[in-house]
Structure formats: structure tokens, C-alpha cells
């Protein structure tokens, strides 16, 4: 037993290392509480300084009554919508899209929207169901792109808030140069 | 300790400090993107990627700062050593499964992604620096100050 016992100095080092870990957990959780909470609960977008006006998940009823905001959809709902020919729209940069994107998605970078919108409108008809996404719960580009597309005349726009991280984590197919 | 030993100790400590402060700051600047990079490894459930991404940068940053300040060096090195072993296991797993992904070691969405194999070699190098710093720390200050 004695050979397995740690010296007081080593025990102290391990205790201090543990305290460092506890401190980091406390800082990380307190600074990113909303992000973590939303990721675990699957709630609406929440980034610092941004409050989502979306009250709840998309349903047939609130899609009809609240057409000015894109409704969030879960991964399961996304599957059903894709089976009905909904179109995935990647709101990230063109470079990120080239690297990797959800299989079958179209690129429409929100940061450079004006230079892509005309071509996009020629390519995708306004009666299509569109589902925007970006880099997960910490990213608001997909929601803002959804809002803009609704203003541009697209009647049925939804937001997949889990985005690329959730899609990857679920083992869904990806496309792009990095694949 | 000889002058050469002191130079090696401080050199190793400062290199480790620079690497982990840089890594911590770049990851903390974009937690969501870092979560995506962790998700690339396909080892954690979806939401856990966010949890790990929210904590890890601050652990790296805190340990890096302690190394820079030459305070609590051994506890900081111990934490980083364990972290590095976890990184090496994750990278090895990615290599074995044939994933061609960015290691997620530093800046998110980098235009020059680091392959898991390159990151593995770098992490092995960092392990050597950690062992060196741990061993030479003994000659720098009495154990009580740790």
C-alpha cells in the first residue's frame, strides 16, 4: 500500500490542478451558459446581445399566423421536410461552404447576400420551402437570412438551428472539398 | 541549476505558455465554431460538443497564463499534460477512422487547416516540453511554493 501512496507535494499539485479545472468549468459555464443551455434543450438561437423573436418550434398553425419570422426546426422535422423537397440553404461564407456543407445544400452567404441574391432568386422559386442553417446555436446568420428571404417574397422559410455541428454529430452526409 | 538548465526551463515554459494562450484565445473567440470542430471527431453527443467547447479554451488560457507568470507551474503542466493525452487519443482515433478534418487546435475556420497527423506530431512535441518543464521546475523553486 505504501508504494501506491502519493507524496504530500504531489498530492498538493494534483489538488491545485483540480482547482484549476474547477475554475475553468465555472468560467466557461458562466460565460456560455445560454449557449450550452440552448444546445442541450434545443431552444431558439441565443447569441450575446441577440434575442430571438421566435417563441416556439414550427407548427402548421404558427407558420400561418407568424409569417414574418422564420420558424426553427429540429433535425427530425428537417428530415420530414427534406423528404417533401425542401431546399437547404447554407448561410455561411462561400469558403466555408466549399470546405463542407450539408449534402444537397445551396450556398447563400448572409455576409455577402446582395451579390448572390439575384442569382439565387432566379434559381429557386418563391413557392419552395427553404431551410437555412449556419454553424449551430451560436450563429445567427441563418435566422437573419431567413428573415431576409421572407421579405424577399419566399413564403415558407425555416431555420435549422442545430446547423452543421448537429448534422455532423448525427453522422449525416456532407459534401465539399474537405470531404 | 546551471545556466543552460535555466534557459531550457524558461524556454519550455514560455513556449508552452504562448501555445496555450494563443489556442485558448482563438477558441474562446468563437465557441460555436470550435464546437463544430469537436463535432468533426464524432466522439461526443451533439450538445456535449458545446459543453466541452465552452470550458476547454478557458482551461488552456488559465494554464497558459500561470506558465507565463511562472506560478503554479507544475499544476498547470499536469492539467495540460492530461489534456494533451486526451487530444492525442482523439487525433489518433480520427487518423484510424480516416477522417480528413481540421484538428481544431487553434483558430476556427482557418484557411490552412492542420491535419490530424500533423497535429499529433505537434502534440507529441508539446508533451516533451511539458515533461521538461515539470522536471526542471524542481531546480527553480522549493516544492512548497508549488
- CA–CA gap between residue A87 and residue A82 (Å, rounded): 7
Q: Give the pLDDT of residue A5.
A: 77
Same domain, A77 and A136: yes
Confidence class of residue A58 from pLDDT cuts 50, 70 and 90?
Answer: very low
A96 contacts B35? CB cut-off 8 A: no
Total structural domains within chain A: 2
Same domain, A77 and A30: no
Decide if A1 is inside a domain.
Answer: no
Same domain, A28 and A78: no
Decide if A80 is inside a domain.
Answer: yes
Domain residues for the domain of A14 are 8-40
Q: Tens of pLDDT along A141-161?
A: 888 899 899 889 898 899 888
Same domain, A14 and A86: no
Decide if A49 is inside a domain.
Answer: no
Same domain, A36 and A96: no
Spacing of C-alpha A74 from chain mean position: 10
Exposed, middle or buried by CB within 10 Å (0-12, 13-18, 19+), for B116?
A: buried
The 8-class DSSP code of residue A73 comes to E
Residues from chain A that touch B55, judged by Cβ atoms under 8 A, are: 24-25, 28-29
- CA–CA gap between residue B124 and residue A92 (Å, rounded): 34
More confident residue, B135 or A53: B135
pLDDT at A60 over 70: no
Query: Does B39 contact A at CB distance below 8 Å?
Result: yes
> Mutating which of B75, B114, B135 best tests the A interface, going by the most A Cβ atoms within 10 A?
B75
Same domain, A159 and A85: yes
Same domain, A27 and A111: no
Q: Which of B111, B120, B108, B102 is nearest to B41 (CA)?
A: B102
Most confident region among A52-61, A106-115, A127-136, B62-71 by mean pLDDT: B62-71
Give the distance from residue A126's alpha carbon to the nearest chain B alpha carbon, in angstroms.
31
Which of A22-31, A69-78, B13-22, B58-67 bottoms out in mean pLDDT, i.e. has the lowest? Answer: A69-78
* pLDDT > 70 fraction of chain B, expressed in percent and rounded: 89
What ipTM is given for this predicted complex?
0.88
Q: What is the mean pLDDT of chain B?
A: 86
- CA–CA gap between residue A32 and residue A34 (Å, rounded): 6
| Per-residue H/E/C for B112-141 | CCCCHHHHHHHHHHHHHHHHHHHHHHCCCC
Spacing of C-alpha A71 from chain mean position: 13
pTM above 0.80, yes or no: no
Decide if A51 is inside a domain.
Answer: no
Exposed, middle or buried by CB within 10 Å (0-12, 13-18, 19+), for A89?
A: buried
Q: Give the pLDDT of residue B1.
A: 74
Decide if A160 is inside a domain.
Answer: yes
Partner residue opposite A25 with nearest CB, options B32, B40, B55: B55
Same domain, A166 and A78: yes
Query: At which residue does the C-alpha cell 494563443 appear?
Result: B22
Same domain, A93 and A16: no
> Mutating which of B31, B80, B143 best tests the A interface, going by the most A Cβ atoms within 10 A?
B31
Same domain, A32 and A84: no
Exposed, middle or buried by CB within 10 Å (0-12, 13-18, 19+), for B8?
A: middle
Radius of gyration of chain B, Cα coordinates, nearest whole angstrom: 16
Q: At what angle do helices B73-96 and A8-31 cross, to 10 degrees?
A: 70
The 8-class DSSP code of residue B44 comes to S
Decide if A108 is inside a domain.
Answer: yes
Same domain, A92 and A166: yes
Same domain, A94 and A158: yes
Euclidean distance between the first and the last CA atom of chain B, given in angstroms as a whole number: 18
Amino acid at each position: 500500500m505504501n508504494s501506491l501512496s502519493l507524496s504530500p507535494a504531489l498530492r498538493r499539485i494534483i489538488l491545485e490542478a483540480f482547482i484549476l479545472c474547477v475554475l475553468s468549468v465555472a468560467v466557461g459555464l458562466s460565460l456560455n451558459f445560454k449557449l450550452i443551455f440552448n444546445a442541450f434543450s434545443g431552444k431558439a438561437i441565443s447569441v450575446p446581445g441577440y434575442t430571438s423573436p421566435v417563441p416556439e418550434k414550427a407548427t402548421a398553425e404558427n407558420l400561418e399566423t407568424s409569417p414574418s419570422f422564420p420558424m426553427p426546426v429540429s433535425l427530425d422535422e428537417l428530415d420530414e421536410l427534406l423528404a417533401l423537397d425542401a431546399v437547404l440553404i447554407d448561410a455561411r461564407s462561400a469558403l466555408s461552404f466549399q470546405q463542407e456543407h450539408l449534402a444537397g445544400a445551396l450556398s447563400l452567404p448572409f455576409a455577402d447576400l446582395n451579390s448572390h441574391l439575384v442569382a439565387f432568386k432566379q434559381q429557386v422559386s418563391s413557392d419552395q420551402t427553404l431551410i437555412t442553417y449556419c454553424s449551430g446555436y451560436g450563429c445567427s446568420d441563418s435566422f437573419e437570412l431567413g428573415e431576409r428571404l421572407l421579405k424577399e417574397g419566399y413564403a415558407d422559410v425555416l431555420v435549422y438551428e442545430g446547423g452543421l455541428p448537429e448534422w455532423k454529430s448525427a453522422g449525416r452526409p456532407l459534401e465539399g472539398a474537405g470531404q | 541549476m546551471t545556466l543552460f538548465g535555466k534557459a531550457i526551463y524558461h524556454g519550455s515554459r514560455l513556449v508552452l505558455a504562448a501555445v496555450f494562450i494563443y489556442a485558448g484565445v482563438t477558441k474562446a473567440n468563437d465557441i460555436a465554431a470550435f464546437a463544430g470542430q469537436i463535432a468533426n471527431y464524432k466522439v461526443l453527443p451533439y450538445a456535449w460538443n458545446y459543453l466541452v467547447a465552452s470550458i476547454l479554451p478557458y482551461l488552456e488560457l488559465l494554464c497558459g497564463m500561470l506558465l507565463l507568470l511562472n506560478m503554479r507551474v507544475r499544476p498547470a503542466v499536469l492539467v495540460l499534460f492530461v489534456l494533451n493525452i486526451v487530444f492525442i487519443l482523439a487525433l489518433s482515433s480520427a487518423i484510424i477512422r480516416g477522417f480528413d478534418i481540421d484538428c481544431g487546435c487553434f483558430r476556427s475556420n482557418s484557411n490552412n487547416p492542420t491535419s490530424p497527423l500533423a497535429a499529433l506530431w505537434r502534440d507529441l512535441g508539446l508533451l516533451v516540453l511539458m515533461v521538461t518543464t515539470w522536471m526542471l521546475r524542481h531546480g527553480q523553486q522549493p516544492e512548497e511554493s508549488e
